[in-house]
A and B are shown apart, each in its own frame.
Chain A
Amino acid sequence: MTYYKKSLTEIKKLFDGILHLYFYHRGVSMKWALYIPYRNNIGNLHGDLKEIITKIPAHELNTIKELFGEINFNQLYFGQEFCERILPKKKDIIDALNFAHSNNMQFTFITPYVTETGLIKLQQLFIELVKIKSDCEIVINDWGVLYLIFNEFPSFTPILGRLLNKMWRDPRIKSYLKGKNSDKILKTYQGCGLAAPGMKKLLNKFNIKRIEIDNLIHGVNENISDWGYQISMYVPYGCITTGRMCILGSWGLEKKDKFKATSKFCSQQCRFYSLNLYDQNKEVKNTKDWEIIQKGNTIFYKQLEPMLKNGLTQAGSLGVDRIIYQFDPI
């Protein structure tokens, strides 16, 4: 039995080694980005990168190291994908830029979907950012923000964010597709509208070269390298759904003022709490691969070790060239 166990461990090590060599020889040069949504996530942006990396959960770090060796975060992603109420201030961005510079990292600014109010705030931030870093990468999750950058800040480098890549992220997909034609339909559910000729033409017009994907519960599309973009993938949080109404943001308000999508007020409880979600109907069960959580206004599936490993393995072999590691989803 002991011998058997030992053999298994050795086979596993050998397999991981082969994978590592495979990526190396395919010439896939994987870049690593560290995503910090809020300055307090990393000691108010004063910390040392090495020290911050030690805060990544050991099992996640080990999985990454097994597949890719020692990782070097050479990109800092900073900003908000999901909520305009917690957009960073100008000073936060400057501090994040300095942090990136002092740690030899490139800088990417992430932006959320925005109302008219949020659009004006973003526009002000862009006016400042373009003075400091005119070619800054900007992750865009709102068609209006793309249009604004194209027309008013053309020196920025736009990236199409994962919220504008409408691929299905429904955790139920695999369990619902059984029987005849299920493989074919699964491929449809792994498909991506950005791969369509009309969309490629449009995004080319808007200078989009890089797009983002999630590590999907029902498997990453095998043909992503044919889509014609550079591709970044987020781990370990996949986005299922997001909205302006925030369950945690309205906690503490008078009942009549709760659950307002248009609320300008935010008690910022997402900085202090997250929610574990359990399906009353037991249709969406947490598994060894993922669990459902809500942070602020967004529901995520958090990828656990087996899924994370599988996704990263696929990413390396399919042509993803940038992994964005999320310290925190919001």
Chain B
Amino acid sequence: MKILAPINSIHEAEPLIASGADEFYCGLHPKAWENKYGKKVWLNRRWSSASINSFEELKNLVKVSHRNNVKVFLTLNLPFYLPEQYPEILSLVKEVTENCGIDALIVSDPGIIMTIKETFPKVEIHASSLGAILNSSSASFYQSLGASRIIFPRFADLEDLGIIINKLGTKLKYEVFILNDGCVFEEGHCYVSHAFGGAFCSRWNYELVEINKDEESPYKIDKASFKRHIKDYKEWLWIGIKNCGGVPGPKGLPLGMCGLCALEKLKDIGVSSLKIVGRESPFPKKIASVKIVKKILDHIDSSNKKLTTSQLAQNLRRTKSLCKSNFMCYYR
């Protein structure tokens, strides 16, 4: 399995590769796009601070990466693109593939995927997690459009993953989330723009409204327990969505969503790439994330195992109570 690391500067490339990164993904924020659309209409799901800011830097990043046998993938992962944006997108695709040399595009909008493949048949497409690919038929749909890799959404069911991969076979590659940010809702079915800042999902007060007094619930729940339930929910949000306030854990390891305990299972079912989230993350967090995934992958491949994958992951993390809570797990 390859470690797919986020990157937003050429300066991060060599240290991340030295730490174990096998692949990179990045965004691009060309000045021309900003000049035309301003700061509130994005080209991909992240703003300039999370992106490479020029074709020149992208080209250099690809050069350095390829020298180290590391591939670079570029996000074009807005949920959709407008008719008037198609010519700009196609022109950008030409530039990043033919001139900068990127290895694949990460896209979810089926219309733009089809258009890119018709215009540039050789361009490799990875079907983004924004495609909400939760079943084998959806994976087949994206394969029929020309995608060569399926990126499953967060919190995929391991059993379902096994069935989907088994059905679709080895012609496709499969990528899953392994570390860092969570999402309360289905990213591919969220109609809120990150361009207006912050998540829309983690800051509500909740008032319970009884709407059906005519029927009896099959599950007896004490209404008074709702307050406690919301307290639990906010704890889950704090751990999984807010990454415990963004502070690093012991030994500088990132806190927040994690799938390390499931690594061996992911390998067994045929996952080929492990995505670390956080293009905009501080550089030390990226390095620490790559290193811990690498350490556990090496352990899985070693013949002398004294600990299970899960034991090693939790020992390395040193976050016993968080791990025990289950609230930090992508796969549970």
**What 1/0 mask marks residues of chain B from 62 to 88 whose CB sits below 8 Å from any chain A CB?**
000000000000000001111110100
A-contacting 9-mer, from B23-31, B52-60, B132-140, B280-288? B132-140
Closest-CB distance, A9 to chain B (whole angstroms)? 34
Closest-CB distance, B303 to chain A (whole angstroms)? 33
Q: Name A199's contact: one of B110, B131, B218, B326 (CB within 8 Å).
A: B110
Q: Does A19 contact B (CB under 8 A)?
A: no
List of A residues within 8 angstroms of B83 by Cβ:
191, 195-197
A-contacting 9-mer, from B11-19, B204-212, B242-250, B270-278? B204-212
The distance in angstroms between the C-alpha atoms of A175 and B81, with both chains bound, is 23
Q: Does A269 contact B (CB under 8 A)?
A: yes
Contact at B140–A279, with CB atoms within 8 Å? Answer: no
Q: Does A17 contact B (CB under 8 A)?
A: no
From 101 to 152 in chain A, residues with beta carbon under 8 angstroms from any chain B beta carbon are 113-119, 142-148
List of B residues within 8 angstroms of A299 by Cβ:
185, 201
List of A residues within 8 angstroms of B139 by Cβ:
144
Q: Name B210's contact: one of A167, A202, A273 (CB within 8 Å).
A: A273
Contact at B233–A114, with CB atoms within 8 Å? Answer: no
Contact at A278–B157, with CB atoms within 8 Å? Answer: no
Given contacts A241-B189, A241-B200, A279-B203, whether A198 and B86 have CB atoms under 8 Å apart is: yes
Given contacts A172-B196, A255-B232, whether A241 and B134 have CB atoms under 8 Å apart is: no
B interface, how many residues as a size bin? Answer: 35 or more
Interface centre among A143, A168, A239 (most CB of B within 10 A): A143
Q: How many residues of A contact B (CB 8 A)?
A: 79
List of A residues within 8 angstroms of B110 by Cβ:
143, 199, 202
Contact at A272–B183, with CB atoms within 8 Å? Answer: no
List of B residues within 8 angstroms of A117 by Cβ:
157, 160
Contact at A276–B191, with CB atoms within 8 Å? Answer: no
B-contacting 9-mer, from A46-54, A242-250, A309-317? A242-250
Apart from A144-B137, A279-B203, what are 10 other A-B pairs with CB-CB below 8 Å?
A: A118-B134, A196-B83, A202-B114, A240-B192, A242-B186, A251-B221, A260-B332, A271-B212, A294-B206, A299-B201
21 chain-A/chain-B pairs, Cβ below 8 angstroms: A142-B134, A143-B138, A147-B138, A166-B80, A176-B40, A177-B40, A191-B83, A198-B86, A199-B110, A201-B111, A241-B201, A242-B189, A252-B221, A255-B232, A258-B229, A259-B233, A259-B240, A267-B218, A272-B215, A278-B207, A292-B204
